[in-house]
Amino acid sequence: MTSELIRVNEIFGPTIQGEGALIGQPTVFVRTGGCDYRCTWCDTLHAVDSAYRDEWCPMTPEAILMQIEILSGGRPLMVSLSGGNPAIQPLGDLIDLGRGEGYRFALETQGSLAKDWFSRLDVLTLSPKPPSSGMATDWQKLAECVEAAGPDTQTVLKVVVFDEADYAYARDVAERYPGLSCYLQPGNHTPPQAETSDSSIDMTGILERMRWLVDRVTKDQWYAATVLPQLHTMLWGNLRGV
């Protein structure tokens, strides 16, 4: 079988999943290169900005799985597909190959592009972008993503919140999908620069925003929401590859 090549920015781990539904779980990350969005506060510009295209390597599913197996010592675990927007890449064959070896797959996307192979994921995290990102949500596309995942994939929502307008947006998204769990995560207003592997982070500011978010959710009696930090930023700040 000849598979289409997947543009890979980095493969790293095992580390812990730092965000959302699978927080704390040992995970290997496969970060693909390229994104159809340009969020003002994106913390992963090295996988978005085409100036870093040289760092994106076309790989076969077999080569990617081999790297995952080396990192995990051949013991199956959760593999998180992120980016950039991993939905741009032909990931169906990698998912099938890995599942055949006992690996599980999660994917993070903004919900701008639906793929039929979403239904072969274990977990699909849809992270539509709030007003502070500068991006506009295509609600039809988001609905197509939920539809493509179908009943056998656990689909969840994860919204980054910086301010009141973002919070109102998160409430709107959650109301549109009452059947999906909704995770809220405070925005990191000092995201890393693409060219550095580490840079300083304003953890005090992030925690202050998180306390505000908890206060907001509880005052509104929005008890179906889950508020979580980016655990990896609490542990390692803006460090890349963790």
Ligand X SMILES: Nc1nc2[nH]cc(C(=O)O)c2c(=O)[nH]1
Ligand Y SMILES: C[S@@+](CC[C@H](N)C(=O)[O-])C[C@H]1O[C@@H](n2cnc3c(N)ncnc32)[C@H](O)[C@@H]1O
* Known binding residues for substrate: 16-18, 31, 82
Which position among 14, 18, 86, 130 is part of the footprint of ligand X (CB under 6 A)? 18
Q: Which residues contact 159 (CB under 8 A, 6 or more apart)?
A: 127, 128, 130, 166, 169, 170, 173, 174, 182, 183, 184, 185
Number of other CB atoms surrounding residue 29 within 10 Å: 23
CA–CA separation, 26 and 136 (whole Å): 33
Which position among 12, 41, 52, 177 is part of the footprint of ligand Y (CB under 6 A)? 41
CA–CA separation, 164 and 26 (whole Å): 33
Closest CA relative to residue 160, chosen from 104, 99, 228: 228
Site residues (CB under 6 A) for ligand Y, limited to 72-101: 82-85
Q: Between residues 65 and 156, which has the closer beta carbon with respect to ligand SF4?
A: 156
Rule CB under 6 A: is residue 10 a binding residue for ligand Y?
A: no
Rule CB under 6 A: is residue 104 a binding residue for ligand Y?
A: no
Number of other CB atoms surrounding residue 9 within 10 Å: 21
Rule CB under 6 A: is residue 159 a binding residue for ligand SF4?
A: no
Rule CB under 6 A: is residue 133 a binding residue for ligand X?
A: no
Rule CB under 6 A: is residue 110 a binding residue for ligand Y?
A: yes
User: x/- site string to ligand SF4, residues 74 to 113, per CB under 6 A?
Assistant: ---------xxx------------------------x---
Residue 172's φ and ψ, nearest 5 degrees, are: -60, -50
**Rounded-to-10 torsion of CA 131, 162, 133, 120:** -100
Q: Residue 18 touches which of ligand Y, ligand SF4, ligand X, none (CB < 5 to 8 A by kind)? A: ligand X
Determine the size of the site formed for ligand Y (CB under 6 A). Answer: 20
Which residues of the chain form contacts with ligand SF4 (CB under 6 A)? Answer: 35, 37-39, 42, 44, 48, 83-85, 110
